[in-house]
C-alpha cells in the first residue's frame, strides 16, 4: 500500500513536471523568439496590415498598440507560452467586418512577410499558420 502511494506520488510529480515544462519550454514559442520575438513580430505585422491597400479602410481606425498586444498574447498562447489572451473571441471581434476569403489570404501573406523579415524558420512559420487556419470559420463571414 505504502509502495503504491509512493508510485502514485512519483507519477503525479512527473506529470506535473511535464505540464510545467510544456508551458515554459515549448519549441514553437522558442522558435518565434519568445515574448520579445513575438512582440516585435506583431508590431511589424500590424504595421504591414495598416499599410496594405488591399484592406481599404478596414484597419484605418485600428489602435495599432492594442491589436499588436492582443495578437502577441494570442500567438504566445497558441505557440505554448505561458500567457493569457485578454481580447475578444474571434467571432465577436470580426462579425461586423464582412471579411472575405481574399481578406483572410491577404492577412496571411502579410504575416508570412513579417515572419520572413524576422528570420523565423519556415517550419515554425507553418506551425503557427496551421494553428491560425481553423479560425477562418469564425472570421470569414462573406
Residue ranges that bind ligand HEM, judged by CB under 6 A: 55, 58-59, 61-63, 66-67, 70-71, 74, 87-88, 93-94, 97, 99, 103-104, 107, 132, 135, 139
- Reported as half-sphere exposure (CB side, CA atoms, 13 A), residue 1 has a value of 0
Smaller CB separation from ligand HEM, 28 or 104: 104
Query: What is d(CA 71, CA 54) in angstroms, rounded to the nearest whole number?
Result: 20
Closest approach of Cβ 51 to ligand HEM, in Å? 13
The residue number whose beta carbon is nearest to ligand HEM equals 87
Helix and strand numbers (H, E) in the chain are 8, 0
Determine the Cα–Cα distance for residues 80 and 132; give it in Å rounded to an integer. Answer: 13
Between residues 25 and 98, which has the closer beta carbon with respect to ligand HEM? 98
**Shortest gap between Cβ of 129 and ligand HEM (angstroms)?**
9
Of 26 and 87, the one with the shorter C-beta distance to ligand HEM is 87
Burial class of residue 78 in the structure, from the number of CB atoms within 10 Å of its CB (0-12 exposed, 13-18 middle, 19+ buried): buried
Whichever of 11 and 51 has its CB closer to ligand HEM, that residue is: 51
For the CB of residue 132, give the shortest distance to ligand HEM in the complex, in Å.
Answer: 4
Torsion sign across C-alpha atoms 108, 118, 56, 68 = positive
Amino acid at each position: 500500500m505504502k509502495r503504491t502511494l509512493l508510485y502514485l506520488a512519483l507519477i503525479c510529480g512527473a506529470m506535473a513536471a511535464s505540464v510545467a515544462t510544456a508551458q515554459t519550454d515549448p519549441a514553437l514559442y522558442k522558435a518565434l523568439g519568445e515574448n520579445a520575438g513575438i512582440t516585435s513580430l506583431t508590431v511589424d505585422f500590424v504595421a504591414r496590415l495598416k499599410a496594405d491597400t488591399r484592406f481599404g479602410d478596414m484597419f484605418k481606425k485600428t489602435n495599432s498598440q492594442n491589436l499588436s498586444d492582443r495578437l502577441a498574447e494570442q500567438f504566445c498562447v497558441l505557440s505554448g507560452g505561458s500567457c493569457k489572451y485578454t481580447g475578444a473571441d474571434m467571432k465577436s471581434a470580426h462579425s461586423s467586418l464582412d471579411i472575405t476569403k481574399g481578406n483572410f489570404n491577404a492577412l496571411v501573406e502579410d504575416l508570412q512577410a513579417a515572419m520572413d523579415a524576422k528570420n523565423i524558420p519556415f517550419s515554425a512559420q507553418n506551425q503557427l499558420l496551421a494553428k491560425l487556419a481553423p479560425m477562418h470559420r469564425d472570421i470569414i463571414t462573406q
